[in-house]
Amino acid sequence: MSVPSKLRAARRLTALAAAAVLASALAAATAPQAVAAPGPSFTNPLVGAPNSADPSIVHSGGNWFYVATTWSSKIVMRKSSTMAGLKTAAEQTVFTLAPGPGCCTMWAPDLQWINNRWYLYFSADATPGQGQRRTGVLESSGADPLGPYTYRGILNLEPDAGWAIDGSVVRFNGYANHFVYSAFRGGEQSLFIAPMSTPAQVSRNGVRISSPTLSWERQGGAVNEGPYAVYNAGKTFLTYSASSCQTPDYKLGMLTWTGGDPMSPSSWVKKSTPIFQRNDAAGVYGPGHASFVRSPDESETWVVYHANSSAGQGCGTTRTTRAQKIGWHSDGSPNLGAPVATGTTITGPSGDS
């Protein structure tokens, strides 16, 4: 074969090889992508009464862990390989309170993974009948959310606040972790934030970042409580519960962090309307005190909250835990929609199998 013929043959082989690579790339791009299977379906309530108000839920090591208010000295947790399985999972006592750590009426636990340990924050009286509720802290000895746990003390300062309750941790880009909670000042129950020096202590008294000034925050009482952060599109949103939990008008509001110092009230903007509220047509009343969790494959965000099935049930042990997948508005903020009706079949989180 002459040199020109060899060159032409080489060019043809190169072109064929390039075409093959392109065809392979196109096939890969257009081939069906693997999609994580949805988890088992369940119906709301996800967890029934009585230990099911103020829910906190995490997914770790292939399992779900759920903790909520018990109104007792015991902190109990449920564990299940699927979210649906929490409905029938056994309660396991992870810690028993005593005077000092808190006594008798534990509520609003919050489970957080920080520095390779689990921290369980909870509201309780320091001694029976004292009425000065504070936030206590438990620290796990390892990576198991079931513990064992060691009591690390009272996190809140707030010596004159009466209560300093319903706390949770908020994470910020460029700032240390902060603790958000609800306390009384000036006769109103408002939201406060304080910087954390360690996962078990704040370094100064909190600063008020939200007061119940809007009419929908003052039904049955002027209340902002139960703050909990949700993150999306590089933004931090702080949800909270508004109005008295004794009414069916208990609901969720939202603050948006604008990027400045979290301790500055000007760094927070309140949404003027609720983001989640009663759905009379569905028979869901007083939905609130929500937490948020990602699906096992990280593709979905779910809201987990408590609500009543009757308008007159109030703040007691009738409240049950419900869960549903949320969406997002065009500005990146959470779109919770409306609470779904009791008995509605809900497809479980993606990858929950």
- Cβ 289 vs Cβ 263: under 8 Å: no
Rounded CA-CA distance 291/192 in Å is: 18
* Cβ neighbours around 236 below 10 Å, total: 19
- Contact call for residues 196 and 202 (beta carbons, < 8 A): yes
Helix ranges (H only) for the chain are: 3-30
Q: What 3-state class would DSSP assign to 338?
A: coil
271 neighbors 235 (Cβ within 8 angstroms): no
Residue type, 101: P
Give the 3-state secondary structure of residue 186.
Answer: coil
Q: Is 54 a catalytic residue?
A: yes
Question: Is 249 part of the annotated catalytic residue set?
Answer: no
Q: In degrees rounded to 5, what are phi and psi of residue 28?
A: -65, -40
Q: Which of 54, 125, 158, 249 is an active site residue?
A: 54
Cβ atoms of 257 and 236 within 8 Å: the answer is yes
The helix, strand and coil proportions of the chain, stated in percent and rounded to the nearest 5, come to 10, 50, 40
- Which entry of 139, 217, 225, 300 is annotated as an active-site residue? 225
Catalytic residues, which ones?
A: 54, 225
